[in-house]
Structures are given as C-alpha cells and as structure tokens.
Amino acid sequence: GSECKLCPVGWLKHRGKCYWLSKETGNWKTSQNNCSINNSQILVIQDQEEMDFILNIKRGPNLVWIGFSFSTAKKNWTWVNDSHFDENMFK
C-alpha cells in the first residue's frame, strides 16, 4: 500500500515532500536553524522537476536559501545531506 503523508498547515506538498516558505528574511545559518526547529531540513534540490517547482512557488524576485555550502574539510561545495550534486541543474 501507499503511505498518506500530510503536511503541516501552511506547508506545500509536492511529490510526497513538504515545503515551507518563510516570510522572514535572514541569513543562511538562521534559515537552517529555523528548519531544524521545525523538524525539517533546509532545501536540498534533487532534480530538475523539484527545481522548477521551487522556482514556481517562490514569492516574486525573493531569493531562496538552499542546503548547499562550502565544506572546508572537503574543499568543495556539498549538499547538507551529502546527496549527489548535479551541476547541470544550475546552468
């Protein structure tokens, strides 16, 4: 059977995941902390369809923080969950 997952009030559901857009402005670290407080994770974009969804729902010209940061240990950019980075999505 399939699992029916509900999103909290005010969140958007897409392909089985829940998304929340904050109305507050802040820096990357603050955004990451706000996600943790809400038992979630800052956005990690998995594929082009998810990228298109995010670009569609974001509010006007506002920017969106994503879970991509520079790892000084690895000396490269990585997703916060160590998933694969597809550079073609950002071209």
Is the four-CA dihedral 51, 57, 62, 66 of positive or negative sign?
negative
Is the four-CA dihedral 7, 9, 14, 18 of positive or negative sign?
negative
The predicted structure's pLDDT at residue 91: 67
The predicted structure's pLDDT at residue 72: 87
Predicted model pTM: 0.76
Is the four-CA dihedral 56, 91, 81, 67 of positive or negative sign?
negative
Going by C-alpha positions, the residue among 49, 57, 58, 45 that lies closest to residue 85 is 45
Q: Structural domain boundaries of the chain?
A: 12-90
Q: CA-CA distance, 19 to 8, in Å (whole number)?
A: 9
Q: Would you write out the chain's pLDDT as a tens digit for each of its 91 residues?
A: 556 678 999 999 999 999 988 888 889 999 999 999 989 999 999 888 998 999 898 877 778 899 988 888 888 888 999 887 777 777 6
Q: What top-level class would CATH report for the domain 12-90?
A: alpha beta
The predicted structure's pLDDT at residue 83: 86
The predicted structure's pLDDT at residue 2: 57
